[in-house]
Structure 1
C-alpha cells in the first residue's frame, strides 16, 4: 500500500508548511510543495479527457511528475498567484496569460478527489467575507459588536456620536495590507480607534466601504483555532500593553502574557458550528472576553496562522493539522 501523499500549496519560506511537512514525514507520509506562481513558467499542468470524460491529471515540475488523482490530501496554505512567462515582454499580453493561467490552476485544485484543507478555495474565500460572518455568528448565538458598514460620511458621524467616540474601523476585505509599489514598501492597516482627526477626512469614505464597530471593552482577547472537531483556545492579555490594547496583532510579547484558555462548552460549540456552517475544516476565530464575562465574536480567518499560538502556549495545533490531513488514510 502506498504511503499517504499530501500536496501543500504555498509560497517559499512558509514556516507553517515546513513544520507540518516535517511532522507528516515523521508519520511516514509523503509531501510535495507547490506554489501557483511557478505555473506556467516552471511547471506544466496536463489534463486529458476521452469521449467519456477525464482520463488523467498530471503536474510536471522540475522535480518530476505528480499524479494528482493519487493524492490523499491537498492543503491550500498560502500560494501566490500564477505569473506570466518571463519571455513575455508585452505587459498586456503578460497580464492576459497570467489571468488565463490563474483560471486553469484555480479550477484544477477545486475538483481533486481528495481531502482539501481548510476547504476548496472557492469555499474558504467566500467564508472570509466579514459581513456574512457577523450574520452567521449572531444566528449561532454569539454576541457581536454593534456594526456599521458604509460609504457615507454622515453615517459614520452619527455612529461615532451615538457611541460617544468609542468606535473602531477595520477593512472589509480579508487582506489587511496593500503594496505601495511606487514607494517600495508595505502599508499595514489593522483595527484602529477612530479619532476626531479621522472624522475630518470621513468624506473619503465615498471611495471605499469601511467597517465601523462599537469598541468592545476587553478583559482578554482570544484566538480560538478550530481543527476538524478539535478546539484550541489561547488567551491574549492584550490590555497589559499600550501597543496591543486595541489590536493584539501589534504584538508585544515581552509584556503581553499568553496562555491556554478554558472556553465554556457552549462557546466552543459555537466556534465548531461556525466552521461547519462555513464549510471549513479549519478556522481561526477571534473573540473578546469582556470585563463582565461576555464572549463577543469579532471574526474568523479561514486560513489564519497558528504557529505563534503553539509556540507561546504549547497547544498541539500542528499535530492536529497533521491528523486532519491524514484522516481516513
Structure 2
C-alpha cells in the first residue's frame, strides 16, 4: 500500500492521484493535521512483534502493509478540542514525537523524498553546496555569517554586486503583515546597517550574470530541466520566485548529460529520492548550482512546460508499492 501524507488541498497530489488509480496502486491519503484530533495512531510491541495501526474516518489501516510513502506537504499535528493554549501546544508537540517514532519504525517502506527526520537533517543549503562542489558542479563563492565585519569585504570582492539569501523560509510578520525573504541585491546604502547581520545569519554571494535559470526536478533517476527566462522581467531578474508569467517564458531544456548525472548523484547522495534544484546558466554557458529544495514544488513546471513529472512520481510510487514487503 502507498501512504500519501499531505494536506487535502495539495494540488500536486490531486495531479498524481488519477495516474496512481490508472496503475491500480492501493493507497491511503492522510494528513498529519488530522492527528491527534481526528485520527488515532497506535504503535505497540506485544508478543515479540511490532504493530502500527492508523484509524481515520472510521477505518483502521495496518501500517505494516505500507511499502511506499509519499511525504509531501502535510499540515502540523492538531488538537483543536484542547482549549487551553499551553495544553494544546503540549498535545500537538507530543503527537509530533509519536509520529516521528512511528515513521522511524516503517523500515520496510521506501520514502519520497525521505523519512521526515532524515529529510529535515539534510535540508541545509550549506550541505547542498558542499556536496555539489564534491561532485564537480560549479558553485559561486559563498559566505554564511552573522559577523557584520564580513559584509563590506564581501561587497568589495563582488565589485559592489553582492546578493544575500536567507537560510530558512520560516514565516514571520512585519507590523502584522506576512513577510517572506527573497534573494536580494545588497546596495551600498545597506552597508551602514550591517550591524543587523549580527541577529540574522545570511548567505552572501557575488551576483552571477544570468542568461536564464533552470529548475531541475529529479524523481528517482529521472531528470526534468525547465528553462526559466527570468531576465525577461525586472520583477524576476534577481529572484524568479516573484513570478511574472505574462513576460517570463518556461520551456523544457536539454541538460548536458554530465550535469544531469551530477544532479541525480547529489539527490541520491543525500539519501533522497526527489529533489528540485536551481541553477543559473551564464551568458558564456556555465551551469552554476544555487540550491536544492528537498520537497520543492513541481506542479507549476509541468503546467507551464508539459513535462510529465506527475507521471514520473506516479511511476516511482507504483514501483515502490509493488516491492515485496519487508517483514519485521
Coarse TM-score class (shorter-chain normalised): over 0.9
CA contact (8 A) 2:37 2:81 kept: no
Aligned to 1:323: 315
Partner Cα separation in structure 2 for residue 78 and residue 25 of structure 1: 21
Per-residue CA deviations over 1:29-54 (Å, capped at 9, x if unaligned) read 23322111111111100112124241
1:138 paired with 2:126, answer no
TM alignment of 1:194-205, pairs within 5 A: 194-205=186-197
What's the offset of the Cα at 1:28? 1.3
Partner Cα separation in structure 1 for residue 105 and residue 240 of structure 2: 37
- Where 2:225 maps in the other structure, the secondary structure is strand
1:20 paired with 2:12, answer no
Tell me the TM-score normalised to structure 1 length.
0.93
Partner Cα separation in structure 2 for residue 191 and residue 152 of structure 1: 19
- Where 2:171 maps in the other structure, the secondary structure is strand
- Where 2:285 maps in the other structure, the secondary structure is coil
Per-residue CA deviations over 1:247-269 (Å, capped at 9, x if unaligned) read 11111111111111111111011
Partner Cα separation in structure 2 for residue 118 and residue 71 of structure 1: 16
Aligned to 1:313: 305
Aligned to 1:9: 5
Aligned to 2:181: 189
1:180 paired with 2:147, answer no
TM alignment of 1:152-163, pairs within 5 A: 152-163=147-158
- Where 1:276 maps in the other structure, the secondary structure is helix
Q: 1:64 aligns with which of 55, 59, 66?
A: 59
Tell me the TM-score normalised to structure 2 length.
0.94
- Where 2:234 maps in the other structure, the secondary structure is coil
What's the offset of the Cα at 1:80? 1.7
Partner Cα separation in structure 1 for residue 141 and residue 83 of structure 2: 50
Partner Cα separation in structure 1 for residue 183 and residue 174 of structure 2: 23
What's the offset of the Cα at 1:115? 1.5
Partner Cα separation in structure 2 for residue 263 and residue 192 of structure 1: 27
Per-residue CA deviations over 1:218-256 (Å, capped at 9, x if unaligned) read 111001111111111111111111111011111111111
Q: 2:244 aligns with which of 252, 255, 275?
A: 252
What's the offset of the Cα at 1:128? 1.5
What's the offset of the Cα at 1:177? 4.7
Q: How many residues align?
A: 320
What's the offset of the Cα at 1:132? 0.9
Aligned to 2:35: 39
Q: 1:124 aligns with which of 119, 124, 133?
A: 119
Unmatched tracts of structure 2, length 5 or more: 323-328
What's the offset of the Cα at 1:186? 2.0
Partner Cα separation in structure 2 for residue 269 and residue 34 of structure 1: 34
How large is the Cα RMSD of the aligned pairs? 1.5
CA contact (8 A) 1:177 1:187 kept: no
Partner Cα separation in structure 1 for residue 166 and residue 255 of structure 2: 28
Unmatched tracts of structure 1, length 5 or more: none
